[in-house]
A = this chain, B = another copy of it.
Amino acid sequence: MALYVQKYGGTSVGTVDRIEAVADKVQRFKQQGHDIVVVVSAMSGETNRLIGLAKGIQDKPNAREMDVLVSTGEQVTIALLCMALDKRGLSARSYTGSQIKILTDSAHTKARIQDIEVTAMQADLQAGRVVVVAGFQGVDAEGNITTLGRGGSDTTGVALAAALKADECQIYTDVDGVYTTDPRVVQEARRLERITFEEMLEMASLGSKVLQIRAVEFAGKYKVPLRVLSSFEDGPGTLITIEDDSAVEKPVISGIAFNRDEAKLTVMGVPDVPGVASRILGPVSRANIEVDVIVQNVAADNTTDFTFTVHRNDYEATEQVLSQVAEELGAREVIGDNKIAKVSIVGVGMRSHAGVASKMFDALADENINIQMISTSEIKVSVVIAEKYLELAVRALHSAFDMDVNDSVSE
């Protein structure tokens, strides 16, 4: 008999029929004797509808009132789900973020959870009730409604699981788990049985957008076992957990992430003096452009080349900023390329395995793929290549690291 916090996203509760299906799933868990706390998002499309109404009035809607508005989306879902549970003879009770209460700071539209009151929920669970909580929302110390920002329902789920010391936080979504890479690119991609929080963070930030990154950080911090599974089909999903040292066989690489929305810019012939990096990136950041990979090589002839990548949509804006900066710095020229892609291999195993990077470079060289930039972390190696080679590169790496073989899945 376990306590599960189950989070169902917007697609999983997108229609009355799907809400009924969620109720069926919850009923099955209850019949097995488990205690269930459900966290739900707004029905898919609803949040956008509400934002549309607001934008019809103000381009940049008042943040406090925006939270009052969009928080109604999840409130509708909790009520409907409780009705569906009631219909099945299950005792259930809904709670808004204010009712629970999920105390946050006052940063409207992007609030952070500070505390969660568990007394009422525990009493409900004790009484055999299913507790249904509106995701994504909270209340500040003055009683104002707040929201955690897009995707915040995952965070609500993890925070509730941590506060209630749940056995597992289950995130139900429209995929059946975390894959070694995108199955649309590599047919042999396979679902991972488990993955560590750190690997998941690297995978998430690199474009495998299964889970909201803050929720994974939160789960890692509070050591809440997190499971990603499908709302629509049965299956064990992928367990995201702390590193399990007892595992005898551990694959070196867990997954391959990639991102094709990048563009690369280089300021050539920058004087090699302290403070240059910030004089280049400062104006970029002030233009609200986010920078991803940054590479600066050793200097030659007292000048150096400074390269970084940005989102492809920001390519032209960045070029403009840099042409100004280059002039001020007396740099030689600015060159760029917006037909690039980033490919990363991720795995905690590479910490203790030498040669992972060189194996990656070899695999790419075998396919005649030129590496334009390299950037590494403890558990990740990323390369930037020409976009046209992306699929080839991902498939080559998937095969080189023996990921096609389903050796770690023990269903």
Q: Mark A67-104, 1 if CB is under 8 A from B, else 0.
A: 01101100110111011101100000110101100000
Q: Is the CB of A65 within 8 A of B94?
A: yes
Contact A80-B53, Cβ < 8 Å, known A58-B86, A68-B75, A86-B65: yes
- Secondary structure call for the A interface: helix
Q: Is the CB of A57 within 8 A of B19?
A: yes
Contacts of A61 in B (CB 8 A): 83
A66 CB-CB contact with B under 8 Å? yes
* Tally of contact residues, A, Cβ under 8 A: 35
A50 CB-CB contact with B under 8 Å? yes
Q: Is the CB of A54 within 8 A of B82?
A: no
State in angstroms the CA–CA spacing of A65 and B20 once bound together: 15
Q: How many Å from the CB of A8 to the closest CB on chain B?
A: 15
Q: How many Å from the CB of A117 to the closest CB on chain B?
A: 11
Instruction: Report the nearest B residue to A93, measured CB to CB.
Output: B64
Contacts of A33 in B (CB 8 A): none
A143 CB-CB contact with B under 8 Å? yes
A405 CB-CB contact with B under 8 Å? no
Contact A54-B69, Cβ < 8 Å, known A62-B86, A98-B98, A143-B99: no
A56 CB-CB contact with B under 8 Å? yes
Which A residues form the contact surface with B (CB < 8 A)? 16, 19-20, 50, 53-54, 56-58, 61-62, 64-66, 68-69, 71-72, 75-76, 78-80, 82-84, 86-87, 93-94, 96, 98-99, 143, 145
Q: A68-B82, A96-B145 are in contact. List 5 more A-B contacts (CB 8 A).
A: A65-B82, A68-B75, A72-B76, A98-B99, A99-B143
Q: Is the CB of A76 within 8 A of B57?
A: no
Q: Is the CB of B94 within 8 A of A80?
A: no
Q: Is the CB of B65 within 8 A of A83?
A: yes
Q: Is the CB of A80 within 8 A of B62?
A: no
Q: Is the CB of A58 within 8 A of B83?
A: yes
Contact A79-B58, Cβ < 8 Å, known A65-B94, A72-B72, A99-B143: no
Contact A79-B56, Cβ < 8 Å, known A72-B72, A143-B99: no
Q: Is the CB of A83 within 8 A of B62?
A: yes
